[in-house]
Amino acid sequence: MKNFEIPAFECETGNYHTFCPISCVAWLYQKIEDSFFLVIGTKTCGYFLQNALGVMIFAEPRYAMAELEEGDISAQLNDHEELKKICLQIKNDRNPSVIIWIGTCTTEIIKMDLEGIAPKLEKQIGIPIIVARANGLDYAFTQGEDTVLAAMAHRCPEYKNSELRQEPTNKIDNSSQIKINNSSNNNFISERIELPKSKLVLFGSLPSSVASQLNLELKRQSILVLGWLPSQRYNELPSLGEGIYVCGVNPFLSRTATTLMCRRKCQLIGSPFPIGPDGIRAWIEKICSVFNKTPVGLNERENQIWKAVQDYTRIIKGKSVFFMGDNLLEISLARFLIRCGMVVYEIGIPYMDKRYQAAELLFLQQTCKKMNTPLPRIVEKPDNYSQVQRMHELKPHLAITGMAHANPLEARNINTKWSVEFTFAQIHGFSNVQDILELVTRPLRCRSGIMSDFQSLSKQTNKMNSI
Amino acid sequence: MKLAYWMYAGPAHISTLRIASSFRNVHAIMHAPLGDDHFNVMRSMLERERDFTPVTTSVVDRHVLACGSREKVVNNISQKEDLQNFVDRASSYSESDVILADVNHYRINELQAADKTLEQIVRYYLDKARREGFLNRSLTDDPSANIIGISTPGFHNQHDCRELKRLPSEPGISINQIIPEGEFLKNLKDLSRAWFNIVPYREMSLMAANFLEKEYGMPHILTTPIGILNTADFIAQISKIVNLWSFSLIEKKVNYDLYVENQTKFVSQATWFSKSIDCQNLAGKEAAVSGDATHAAAITKILVREMGIRVSCSGTYCKHDADWFNEQVQGLCDETIITEDHTEIGDTIARIEPSAIFGTQMERHIGKRLDIPCGVISSPVHIQNFPLGYRPFLGYEGTNQISDLIYNSFNLGMEDHLLDVFGGHDTKEENIKSLSTEKNNIHWSYDVESELKKIPGFVRGKIKKNTEVFAKQNNISTITVDVMYAAKEKLSS
């Protein structure tokens, strides 16, 4: 039995900066095209989302705030009636296929019974209402997507084993020619293939082009994805149930995974996440092994990609990086960068589900051993202040941090890359490996002459030096 | 409960953070759940702040809630007592002063809260100095003034501050203190040494100024020096105040008329501009104005009285200041609109169809939708409102800047119109349709066309070109989805 170094897990105060989980609205409303997101909270929530959505808010996105006023808080107004008024207005203005209520810190504290009101209101107005509690008390940033998907999982239709046989040609024999549906989940249009759909549902919100790329990769291995959670339209949610395998594409979806396993009785495929050529290969290999298929051409694909990004890996080889941590993608990104030849000093991460990320953690250890680099320190719920002190001592070449610290660190001559960009850039799949490396190397490539002479551009430290 | 899409002013705690992080040695602690400190991000990114924002979140999660807070949100009074107890205990442990910010989240917005917090801090430190006997009540020998209300990340605040320092300095008035931006709290005890206070933004500093007047007899100037007329008025008020004391303190009377005349005629270009024939073309054009009370009122005055432009509608989202606003713009515009609802303002503008809009970022987008040019004159702020160059709104340099803004806003509309009329827009559509001059036999299959549509427009052309180049290099005649992704992997974008 191989004896791997156990990664050191630490836990600090949790005084760190990350975004509120309601920020998931910003990308989920775009992904699910017939949805409407209603955030039930206060001015604070609205103001944050307004700034997070930025310019998009002017395009009248399918999102609104149900702003709680003093009367709501002191229980003078009837919640049910107020929400009914608002939902009717939304129905008249936008007529979505589903309204998703996002509970916030305030609704938690005043214990507003959203789950109780929703089903009644759903019957009254005739539009499905899903309740997801995405609040900063319990979750961080990307975990907002986790709670929404976990809530949506309950609405997926029940999978019946006979479904696969209900093809237009009505043949009982699975392997005969089948015309595949032109649904937006899997973009294979009128292609005659001799494959049945595998009982595989992928979960995680990715831009549709990236989802298509991943579908294509699996199709090359003769595995046809049954569907995605979330699907592009609410009416196209995949069927779930006993006999269906589910696999996640993002590391922060532990609650969704648990819901799919325990409530919907699906089988979870635990694998590293498809980020970086090594991650994608491992992901595809694992899925293939579950469906008893031998992966074809994977090693060649992976090596091809490594060769194609040689210029980038050359820049970062041997350099060190420090993750301050805010979007839960840190383990996968760290593993990928280690494989590229970097040294990772520390990985800060808001929350680590050791079971859901088990495969990824194991892969991290294996990668460190392979590249002969020390295992990074993993800190859950980091303390930003302590981290900055550690960074001053360690002097990493690159710090991956949130926007609150990026500018001040740059002024102190530490190269930074803001972490939020990794959540909005396309980082999954073979075709996007270059994109990740573009992001990571940009601060290292940008260092042209003028500023390198200054130790620090910060007014505070300069003042101290002059005394 | 109300359905809200956009708000002009932020929540109350944002302003407490603004005031706290403007002072030099103040650190704000927010007892709040994860994510409430997005203020740090805003400040760091908008102001391109070089130092860490002095705001720390003491994170509240389930455990804290379970042990600590009772009925926190429901009962405001007991909440205050709870927090006050917390503050008192904290003071005894720490060497620093600890103050509880007294702002009710549900009743007041960002601007009112800023006002209140600043007043609270000023009151605390002056009372403390008075109690402990080191309050300096003597006036400065030479005339001096405090500037109250410059904070981070305010709309052009840093530039305005520079101009406000310059403006009274030529007539011989020095600046005693600028609060809150950049001031040490321990210096607040000297606040009352100045002869008077300057309050450029009434939304943010009126309460503090009133307090100083009541308790320490300090007069303040409420006129904001935006525009030629207001700036002249501002200087006139300064001379009146200075002359009250000047006889006994500096043994002469001051007269700034010559200074004002010189600045108005020659240093500021605005007066000359309004006489020039360029501006004559603007006379009679219609504009709509909206924003915070200070800027909206001032711009309305400039447009009507200094440039001869008609203002069909003038409005503000500062509902609590409606009376003052109405009084300021009375007779200058056809209608006023006082509302926090941006859809009302949008509808009004759509109805009026002015030649230009002067408002906030929201009005800029309304303008884009309706195809009306818009100049931004007020917060809420955007990265565009933090230019690296010197762009004040106040003072004589401000008049130049505003004239430029107004002129360009109207002109942009006219330019587009002229180009339309004479068919002068460059249309290079041919470039997109065929990507090579030589005949090629490359055929795009149907399914990949729909994949292409998913790619955002501004990058689609490049990807299409890349793919065709790759296809040619590899002698592929039909482009499928596979080919497109293979092209992306191979070629650098």
Three-state DSSP at B183 gives coil
Of B35, B107, B451, the CB nearest to A48: B35
Instruction: Give the whole-angstrom CA distance, residue B42 versus residue B39.
Output: 5
pLDDT at residue B436 greater than cutoff 50:
no
- A interface test, pick of B3, B65, B184 with most A CB neighbours within 10 Å: B3
* Cβ neighbours of B447 in A, within 8 Å: 187-189, 191
Look at residues A289, A199, A195, A283 and name the one whose alpha carbon lies nearest to residue A245.
Answer: A199
> Nearest residue of B to residue A191 by CA position?
B447
* Cβ neighbours of B485 in A, within 8 Å: 213, 216, 430-431
**A178-296 classified as CATH 3.40.50.1980:** yes
Report which of residues B64 and A168 the model is more confident about: B64
If one looks up domain A302-465 in CATH, what number appears? 3.40.50.1980
Instruction: Give the whole-angstrom CA distance, residue B192 versus residue B126.
Output: 9
pLDDT at residue A50 greater than cutoff 90:
no
CB B293 within 8 A of CB B323: no
Instruction: For domain A21-139, give its CATH number from 3.40.50.1980, 3.40.30.10, 3.90.950.20, 3.40.50.970.
Output: 3.40.50.1980
pLDDT band at A5 (very low <50, low <70, confident <90, very high): low
Three-state DSSP at A351 gives coil
* Cβ neighbours of A79 in B, within 8 Å: 1
Q: Any CB–CB contact under 8 A between B67 and chain A?
A: no
Q: Rounded to the nearest 5 degrees, what angle is found at the Cα of B451, between the Cα atoms of A96 and A421?
A: 75
pLDDT at residue A2 greater than cutoff 70:
no
Question: pLDDT tens, B67-105?
Answer: 664 433 333 333 445 566 666 666 666 666 777 777 777
Mean pLDDT of chain B: 83
Give the whole-number percent of chain A exceeding pLDDT 70: 87
What are the domain boundaries of chain A? 21-139, 178-296, 302-465
List Cβ neighbours of B86 (8 Å cut-off, separation of 6 or more): none
* Cβ neighbours of B44 in A, within 8 Å: 403-408
Q: Any CB–CB contact under 8 A between B466 and chain A?
A: no
Q: Rounded to the nearest 5 degrees, what angle is found at the Cα of A40, between the Cα atoms of A38 and A43?
A: 115
Look at residues B490, B482, B434, B425 and name the one whose alpha carbon lies nearest to residue B461.
Answer: B434
- In the set B278, B334, B347, B416, the catalytic residue is B278
Of A52, A406, A459, the CB nearest to B51: A459
Instruction: Give the whole-angstrom CA distance, residue A279 versus residue A276.
Output: 5
Q: Any CB–CB contact under 8 A between A93 and chain B?
A: no
Instruction: Give the whole-angstrom CA distance, residue A56 versus residue B319.
Output: 27
- B interface test, pick of A39, A48, A307 with most B CB neighbours within 10 Å: A48
Phi-psi region of A189 (alpha: psi -120 to 50; beta: other; left: phi over 0): beta
CB neighbourhood size of A121 (10 A)? 21
pLDDT band at B250 (very low <50, low <70, confident <90, very high): low
What mean pLDDT comes out for the span B209-217?
Answer: 92
Does A308 contact B490 at a Cβ distance shorter than 8 Å? yes
Does B4 contact A46 at a Cβ distance shorter than 8 Å? yes
Question: pLDDT tens, A327-347?
Answer: 999 999 999 999 999 999 999
Contact residues, A window 305-364, toward B, CB-based 8 Å cutoff: 305, 308, 350
CB A257 within 8 A of CB A268: yes
**B292 among known catalytic residues:** no
- pLDDT at position A447: 66
Three-state DSSP at B358 gives strand
Instruction: Give the whole-angstrom CA distance, residue A386 versus residue A377.
Output: 14
- pLDDT at position A77: 73
- pLDDT at position B248: 72
Tell me the CB-side half-sphere exposure of residue B215, using CA atoms within 13 A: 17
Q: List C-alpha distances in Å: B204 to A220, B158, B224, B362.
A: 63, 15, 13, 21
Question: pLDDT tens, B149-189?
Answer: 999 888 999 999 999 998 888 888 899 999 898 888 888 88
List Cβ neighbours of B176 (8 Å cut-off, separation of 6 or more): B140, B144, B145, B146, B190, B191, B193, B194
- pLDDT at position A462: 63
Q: Any CB–CB contact under 8 A between B46 and chain A?
A: no
CB A417 within 8 A of CB A410: no
- pLDDT at position A190: 38
Q: Rounded to the nearest 5 degrees, what angle is found at the Cα of B35, between the Cα atoms of B31 and B38?
A: 100
- ipTM (interface pTM): 0.81
Give the whole-number percent of chain B exceeding pLDDT 70: 87
Instruction: Give the whole-angstrom CA distance, residue A424 versus residue A430.
Output: 17
Tell me, yes or no, if the two domains A178-296 and A302-465 fold the same way: yes
Q: Any CB–CB contact under 8 A between A382 and chain B?
A: no
Enumerate the H helices of A63-159 as residue ranges.
70-73, 79-94, 105-109, 114-125, 143-153
Tokens for B36, please give them.
């409430």
Does A431 contact B489 at a Cβ distance shorter than 8 Å? yes
Q: Any CB–CB contact under 8 A between B305 and chain A?
A: no
Mean pLDDT of chain A: 85
pLDDT at residue B239 greater than cutoff 70:
yes
Of A60, A137, A402, the CB nearest to B61: A137
Does B450 contact A189 at a Cβ distance shorter than 8 Å? yes
pTM: 0.84
A259-273, A290-304, B233-247: which has the minimum mean pLDDT?
B233-247
Of B65, B72, B451, the CB nearest to A137: B65
Enumerate the H helices of B276-321 as residue ranges.
277-282, 293-301
